[in-house]
Each structure stands twice: as structure tokens, then as C-alpha cells.
Amino acid sequence: MVRLCVVGMGHVGVVTASCFAGLGYSVTGVDKDHDKLMLLSQGKPPFFEPGLSELLRGGIDKDLLFFTEDFDEAIKASEVIFICVGTPSLEDGSVDLTQVEEVARGIAANLNDYKLIVGKSTVPVGTAKKIKQTIKLINGDNCPDFDVSSNPEFLKEGSAVNDFLFPDRVVLGVDSKRAEIILKDLYRDFDCPVLTTDIATSEIIKYASNAFLAMKISYINLVADMCDKVGANVHHVADGMGYDRRINREFLSAGAGYGGSCFPKDVKAFTSLAADLGINVSLLREVDRINEKRICLIVKRLEDTLWVCKDKKISVLGMAFKCNTDDVRESPALKLISKLADKGCQICCYDPKAMSNVRAQLNGLYELISFAESPYEAARGADALVFMTDWPEFGKLDFLKIKELMRSPIIVDGRGMLHAHDLEETGFLYQGLGLGGRLSCQ
Ligand code: UGA
């Protein structure tokens, strides 16, 4: 059976390595971060992802999953190498490919036999070509046989294991029969369409998919603004639209907007790529602009109710960029906190899973911030509660108790996840986004 190597033990890398080990392959995970590798070797994922620790431990116990800092040895011992390193944004929105380039050079120096190099990191069109060119240049005339291909990931944090094992599709971007055969064989047991394309098409599919999903979210947020003006309910509008199978209800949840390590970065990168190609990018720019505006709307909701926010205690419930993850990268909640801090608010925050990441991000950054151990502690003495992540447990809170703990019973629902009517019955002043400018108190 072919030996796999996964370079980069971030979210995509760890899930890819663990899932392939779960399918019976021998996999080596490589990273430079010693502490992360120690955790992984003990079967502990360095982040929260449902179902991952079981797979990780299973792979280690069966001697199928190994972790190492020894990049050279891992490359030499493997036939298929997945590149899963980070591709962060540069100031101008384009992609920083430093890590991908470094891996390509490292592979070039360890090309002892045929290798299939597979790009999983989200990269601009042409990256696979650059990897190939770099490896050839370094090895000169005696370059051993190798192929470079693109196999984009479509993993959502919070359901990444399930998305890996039961994907909607697998995309294989290849330019040689040998690469196609190896990759098709790796995915032979997957019960989904396997689309084989040229490499540029595969690289575009990834960006086009993420930008399209982000566009759906910004579109429904635009509709939410309209609903606010005319007294309509955006969630019902989304239901009405979503029953149309061509539209589909998924990614039509209006609210605080999209965050995370993918959509904000990928929309900007796709825009930058299109602009470089001389394509009019106003549609993509608007997706980003609408998303940025969502936080201002939440601040406005607070000002509409509290009047002056300065010195008020505002508690933010939900810090992760979405539920089922402890990831706070580009989290709308963090953006809100920065705006509230500028206004001189006292801020208290709580998240069921992300508090250690929140502390790492915020400790010492703002004077007036505190961290709560529970939603009830956050509610104590608060002038307003803002819900920023759609954690299911927030819907089950004892809102009567919350109301008693708060100084004034104001709720801003940034995710449209609570029952406005029930909260109003309990005596809250409930504010949502796209709910007809709801501002009423029983
Ligand atoms: C996203 C894509 O969904 C994955 O297919 C892709 O593989 C991944 O990026 C990636 O490129 O690696 P992810 O960032 O984990 O996955 O999270 P999503 O579930 O897509 O949510 C992104 C953001 O959109 C979250 O902040 C979420 O709260 C927000 N969102 C999502 C909405 O505001 N409304 C919706 O209806 C859906």
C-alpha cells in the first residue's frame, strides 16, 4: 500500500492524516512545531474537532499514524505527499505562498524516487506549475520522476472528519495518467462523484466554491437589511427561497456575517487573482464589503437600545467564528469586541469551547475586558447580551435567570438563533438582524 506524508499539521493536515490512517494507510504527519507534534503523538488534537481524537488515537494504536519534525526522512519514505501548510493573506489580499515554496524546495532536495505531490492548501491558479518548475530547476537534468497535482479540500471546521469521509465530491486536478491512477485509487472507496480535471480547473474550483458560499451569505445579509426596512422576517424569506432546490437553504443564515480562516481570506484572494487577470471584481468586492458592515449593524443595535455605550457592560456570548469549533480566527465576535473597546465599553466574553484561544488573543490587549466561566456569570450586571456564535446550548439557557442577573434586559441576537417571541414574553428587549427592525419591549 502506498505510504503517505502530510506536510503541515494545521486543521486540514491533521484531519487528512487521521482520516487516511483511519482508511488503513500508513501516514506520516510533518510539522516544525515540536509542541504540536508532542500532543499529536499522544493522540491529542491541538484543536477541537468532533470525532478527530478517536481517529487520531486509532491511527496511532494501529501503528499507521506517525508524527515527526524530520521533514527529509518523511519525504524520502513516502510516495504521495500532501501539502497542507498555511497560505495566509498578504496586506493587498493576495496569498503568501512562502510556506508552500519552502515545502517544494524541501521536496526537491529529497527526491530519491518517484513522488506524487498533492496540493491541498488553498492556492492561486498556477501554484502547482510553480512547484513543478522549482523542483525541476533544483534537480536539473538528473531530476527523478515526479508529478504535481491538486486535490482541494472542502472541509468545514466542526464537521471536518465527516466532510472528509463523506464528501459531496472529490476533485482531482492532474496532468499525468500516473498521478490520476494513484489519486483515484486513494479515493476508490468514496461514495461520491470523483471529478478529474486539469490542475488550473481544480485550483479554481476551490476558490470559486468558497467565494460562492460567501456570496450566498452576503446576499442573504443584504436581504436582511431590506427586511429590516420593510418589516419582513429574513429567516422566513430564506426558508421560502431555500425550498427551491436550485437555491437550497444552506448558507442562507443571515446575521453577524462570515469569519474563520477561509472565507474572508479566500474572497480577498479570489478578488485579487481576478483583478490581476483584468476581470471586473465589483461583485466579489461587494461580498466582502457587505460582510464587513455586519459588525457596525450590531453596534448600531446596541446604540439604538442603550443609547450611549461608553462604560456600559456588554457581554458577548460565543467567541468562536461558528459553533463546534474553538477557532477564533477572523471571528466576528473579536471584531465586535474591538469596536466596543473603541467606544469605551466594559466587555465580558464567554464561549463554551474557545476560551483559551480567546484569552491568548485578547489578554492584555484591552483594559476593560473580562472573561466569564459561564453564560450566567457573563450575564451578571450586564447592560446587554450579544449572541455572536450559534452554539446550540445558548438556545437552552434559563432566560428568566439571565434576565434577573442582568442590569437591563437587552439581547442582540447576531445569529438569529433565539426565539424572539419567547424572549419578549419573558420581558427582554430583543434585537435581531433582518427581523423588521424589531425593537419592542413587552
Ligand atoms: C469553509 C467551507 O465551508 C469549506 O467547504 C472549506 O473547505 C473551508 O472553508 C476551507 O476553505 O478550508 P469553514 O470556514 O470551516 O469552511 O466554515 P463554514 O461552515 O463555511 O462557515 C464560515 C463562516 O460563515 C462562519 O463564520 C459561519 O458562521 C458563517 N455562516 C455560514 C453564515 O454567516 N451564514 C451561513 O448561512 C453559513
Structural domain ending residue among the three candidates 147, 163, 197: 197
pLDDT band, very low/low/confident/very high, at 364 (cuts 50, 70, 90): confident
Specify the pLDDT at position 281.
94
155 shares a domain with 26? yes
Closest-CA residue, ligand 1 atom 16, reads 156
Per-residue model confidence as pLDDT tens digits over 17-59: 999 999 999 999 999 999 999 999 999 999 999 999 999 999 9
Residue 263 CA to ligand 1 centre (angstroms): 7
Q: Tell me the C-alpha distance between 29 and 16, whole Å.
A: 9
Q: What is the mean pLDDT of residues 336-343?
A: 95
Integer-rounded Cα radius of gyration of the chain: 24
Residue 147 CA to ligand 1 centre (angstroms): 31
292 shares a domain with 233? yes
pLDDT band, very low/low/confident/very high, at 440 (cuts 50, 70, 90): very low
- Which domain covers residue 33, as residue numbers? 3-197
171 shares a domain with 221? no
pLDDT band, very low/low/confident/very high, at 438 (cuts 50, 70, 90): low
Residue 71 CA, distance from chain mean position? 27
Cell numbers of 182, please?
494513484
13 shares a domain with 130? yes
Closest-CA residue, ligand 1 atom 25, reads 258
202 shares a domain with 191? no
Per-residue model confidence as pLDDT tens digits over 260-276: 999 999 999 999 999 99
Structural domain ending residue among the three candidates 167, 197, 227: 197
Sequence-distant (≥ 6) Cβ neighbours of residue 199 within 8 angstroms: 128, 129, 148, 149, 150, 173, 174, 175
Q: What angle do CA 316, 322, 327 make, to 5 degrees?
A: 90
Per-residue model confidence as pLDDT tens digits over 235-248: 999 999 999 999 99
141 shares a domain with 10? yes
pLDDT band, very low/low/confident/very high, at 142 (cuts 50, 70, 90): confident
Specify the pLDDT at position 366.
73
Structural domain ending residue among the three candidates 197, 213, 231: 197
Q: What is the mean pLDDT of residues 89-102?
A: 92
Total Cβ atoms within 10 A of residue 375: 23
163 shares a domain with 18? yes
For residue 155, is pLDDT > 90?
yes
- Annotated active-site residue 323? The verdict is no
CB-neighbour burial class of residue 46 (10 A; exposed 0-12, middle 13-18, buried 19+): middle
Q: How many independent structural domains does the chain possess?
A: 2
CATH number for the domain spanning 345: value is 3.40.50.720
279 shares a domain with 170? no
Specify the pLDDT at position 441.
35
Closest-CA residue, ligand 1 atom 29, reads 258
Q: Pick from 377, 392, 337: which is nearest to 359 by CA?
A: 337
355 shares a domain with 271? yes
Q: Tell me the C-alpha distance between 357 and 372, whole Å.
A: 14
pLDDT band, very low/low/confident/very high, at 137 (cuts 50, 70, 90): very high
Contact 55, 11 (CB under 8 A): no
212 shares a domain with 187? no
Segments in 366-429 forming alpha helices (H)? 375-379, 399-405, 420-426
126 shares a domain with 74? yes
**pLDDT, mean over the chain:** 95
